[in-house]
A = this chain, B = another copy of it.
Amino acid sequence: MKQSRERVVAVYLVETPYSLEHTAGILAGEQSTGTFTAVPGETDDLKREFGAVVEGIRPLEIVDVPSLPGASVPAGHSGGYRRGEVRISFPLHNFGPSIPNLMTAVAGNLYELQELSGLRLLDLELPEAFVRAYRGPRFGIEGTRELCGVSGRPIIGTIVKPSVGLPMEALGRLITELALSGLDFIKDDELNADPPYAPFALKVETVMDAVRRAADRTGKQVMYAFNITGDMDQMRRNHDQVVQSGGSCVMASINSIGFTALTELSRYSEVPIHGHRNQWGMLTRCPQLGMDFRVYQKLARLAGADHIHVNGLRSKFYESDQSVIHSIRSCLTPLGDSRLPMPVISSGQWAGTAVDTYAATGTVDVMHLAGGGILAHPDGPTAGVKSMKLGWEAAVKGESLAEYAARHPVLQRAVDKFGAKS
């Protein structure tokens, strides 16, 4: 019997007190035909057809201290813990094109093995048949641009604050002000979905009323991402409310609902899904555990996220700028022939970060969200939005922020206020 052709490749960062070869073999066995001991029925034919295969091992450094607790050590262990990059391939027919069963196959119990003192899923290479089975973003960059009426520059947006407790009248006034400022996009805070103190139907009515009135004056309807994160029936109900009221976007906290609920929502939704990645730090901040964003964004886009949060340069979070840049690039790397999701840049953003972001990524296919960078502009939100657009203009024209600001007072005022902080 020949080895199955369509295969998924998982790339791991491994740390182990054993040899890398021995450990890679255990990973492959544990997650396919093997168990901790030979069992009847595990024939050579079965292994050939269903076995996972170690495709490559790249040794890295040796460290003195194990990164994670609970690793066993071989007899006569000298104390070193070997790190290496291990590539393992799995026959697709072991689990089929299914995100949940893929995750059980490539991750499963591996994080708990005694043979490992570190394990991180670095990448997943998925065959066409897998990608085709999930349609991915239904709107993505193109569909979102169309709905927003924005081309050639990023979609500029902001977040409703305070995130919790804002009375309806105050929300209505805020949305009116923001919608009149020329913004393309406004989102609910992730902390605010469908709380008892602010019934969702009333929120939608209040927001859409403000959005429509502003559109009557400006000729442009701002896209509002309503946070519908919740149980499945609640998400469907709230999605329907948004669509019936003429809304053009829903938002979901991806890790709160999980990839399976996201897939289900994507199959149901008539508008783009704004994917928030809160709780992502839990899966990635320990460098020898969890997974890289490369893997995460592939799963999120396959499941149907049209927009995916990636933090921003010089943000309030622990993540390095280099990592943010990698995240933006990974969202914009094709995955089969599915639509590209729009990376969402946020946290500590203002006109100045536009220049650096473009310099590092060379793309305008992003959503750029700023809270204070727009609302706290000395001349108000309308000036704040203008300064953001000017920041991107400077970036695309290859001009320095200082030069462009010297010719555009609205940008200069932003530089004066926010420039020192960056």
- A interface residues (Cβ-Cβ under 8 A, vs B): 31-37, 39, 41-42, 46, 49-50, 67-71, 92-96, 98-101, 103-105, 107-114, 116, 119, 161-166, 170, 174, 190-191, 193-197, 229-234, 253, 255-261, 263-264, 267, 278-283, 285-291, 311, 316-320, 348, 371-372, 375-376
Contact = CB atoms under 8 A, between A and B. Distances in A.
Given A68-B285, A258-B257, A279 B318 contact: no
Contact of A317 (B98, B114, B283): B114
A152 B44 CA distance: 43
A279 B259 CA distance: 14
B165 A46 contact: yes
Q: How many copies does the complex hold?
A: 2
Given A99-B231, A104-B191, A195-B96, A109 B70 contact: no
A165 B50 contact: yes
Given A98-B194, A190-B108, A282-B283, A113 B162 contact: no
A280 B166 CA distance: 37
Contacts of A372: 36-37, 39
A110 B281 contact: yes
A367 B265 CA distance: 35
Nearest to A189: B35
A88 B355 CA distance: 39
Closest 8 pairs between A and B when the two form their complex, measured CB to CB: A258-B258, A111-B281, A70-B318, A50-B165, A100-B256, A112-B281, A260-B261, A286-B286
Contacts of A111: 279-282, 285
Nearest to A121: B282
A274 to B, nearest CB: 14
B194 A49 contact: no
A33 B195 CA distance: 14
Given A67-B286, A100-B229, A108-B279, 9 more contacts: A31-B191, A39-B161, A41-B166, A96-B195, A98-B194, A98-B230, A108-B190, A119-B281, A285-B289
Contacts of A104: 190-191, 193, 229, 253, 256, 278-279
A116 B318 CA distance: 9
13 contacts: A41-B161, A68-B318, A69-B285, A92-B196, A104-B253, A108-B278, A112-B281, A119-B281, A233-B267, A258-B259, A258-B260, A260-B260, A260-B261
